[in-house]
Amino acid sequence: MKKLQGAFFICLLLSSLFGFSQARKYSNEFMKIGVGARALGMSRAQTAVVDDLTSGYWNPAGLLGIESNFQVNFMHAEYFAGIAKFDYGSFAKPLNDNSAIGISVIRFGVDDIPNTLELIDANNNINYNRVSTFSAVDYGFLLSYARATKVEGLNLGGNLKIINRRVGDFAKAWGFGLDAAAQYKVDNWQFGAIFRDVTTTANSWQYTLSDRTIEVFQITGNEIPQNGLELTAPSLTLGAGRYFPIKQKFGLLMALDLENSFDGQRNSVISSKYFNMDPYFGLEANYANLVFLRAGIGQFQKVKAEIGNFTTTTFQPNFGVGLRLKGISIDYALTDIGDQSVALYSNIFSIKLDLNRSE
């Protein structure tokens, strides 16, 4: 029994990966968390209005909004009471007046997981010196490019997406995919679209299991994982935004995103076997483009009542503030991880630097 308890987590983790390798739904979910405290404070409503280096994630066409020689950005967040760490860093620069490039790195990981497969030796004695640790880590790399078109206000962009996922020495996967995006600006109106995983992103999983690991799988009645593919289906996000100048130094930005998925029925506002839609709405008020207050709502969910045969709709509110001063932007967001039932709010900080070469 102690052997089974000690190896339970490893069996559960590898079994779930094996299950995902057979399905297209909820694949590469770590790439859907979102980056940047500004965006998270506005409940992810960024597709039309993003105009800095986080565009590499939200809409690569927005990279043409960068006005400095180049930008760098960092963000750190912790989820599930600090068990999981989420880190993001990016770099972007204009190539000329009509094009820009960016590089983004995302890491989502659980570190120092005990490996107790060898806890009990051949003589059935417990030996804690035989316990080692491993990490379950997901990496996402985005190589972004944006270019202006001959149509005034219309910019196009795209991502080359590289995925690397590892579970210690037990399993690893590499995946590749493409995103296509556009932004269009006219007067104070902004529109955007991003077609994520337009080619369908495929992760190729390979498992390296020792005889001991296979034995534990057999004892616990788990299916032994086999090498295979995990497919991420395409999704389409459409966005619109409008900026309202207020007096001389005040302004208000309103943004709406509609995230559409096609990988089977989800718990969405509009839900079906073939098409699902989730709305996200965000606001950003600013004073002289120096101080920012943000708010938004998203993550609408239909929840069945514990008593009675009816459902209610819940949503997630988000809040944020920002300060921009002499090329340094510091942003903060108070946001839920998405599970209203446990009400775990996370404090998200990110910092962005605008750097210019000396003339």
Nearest to 104 by CA among 20, 163, 47: 163
pLDDT at 237: 97
pLDDT tens, position by position, 61-117: 999 999 999 999 999 988 777 788 899 999 999 999 999 999 999 999 998 888 877
pLDDT at 50: 97
Give the CATH number of the domain where residue 65 resides. 2.40.160.60
Q: What predicted TM-score, i.e. pTM, was given to this entire model?
A: 0.86
pLDDT at 166: 92
Count of domains forming the chain:
1
Q: Please, what's the b/e burial string for 137-174 (b: 16 or more CB within 10 A of its CB; e: otherwise)?
A: bbbbebebbbbbeeeeeebbbbbebbbebbbbebbbbe
pLDDT at 2: 39
Q: Which amino acid is at 189?
A: W
130 phi/psi in degrees, rounded to 5: -90, 0
Which range marks the domain in which residue 323 is found? 2-355
pLDDT at 251: 95
State the DSSP string of 183-231: EEEETTEEEEEEEETTT-EEEEEEE---HHHHHHHHHTTPPPP--EEEE
Q: Name the one residue in this structure whose structure tokens are 């962005």.
A: 352
Give Cα separations from 176 to 31, 140, 218 (angstroms): 13, 10, 33
Q: Kindly report the average pLDDT of the chain as a whole number.
A: 86
Distance (Å, rounded) from C-alpha 35 to C-alpha 351? 12
The pLDDT tens digits along the chain (359 residues) read 434 444 444 444 554 554 444 444 668 889 999 999 999 999 999 999 999 999 999 999 999 999 999 999 999 988 777 788 899 999 999 999 999 999 999 999 998 888 877 777 667 778 777 788 888 999 999 999 999 999 999 999 999 999 999 988 888 999 999 999 999 999 999 999 999 999 899 899 988 877 777 777 777 777 777 888 888 889 999 999 999 999 889 999 999 999 999 888 888 888 888 889 999 999 999 999 999 999 999 888 877 777 767 788 888 899 999 999 888 999 999 987 544 444 467 789 999 999 886 54
pLDDT at 273: 85
Q: Is the Cβ–Cβ distance between 350 and 331 less than 8 Å?
A: yes
* Percent above pLDDT 90 for the chain: 53
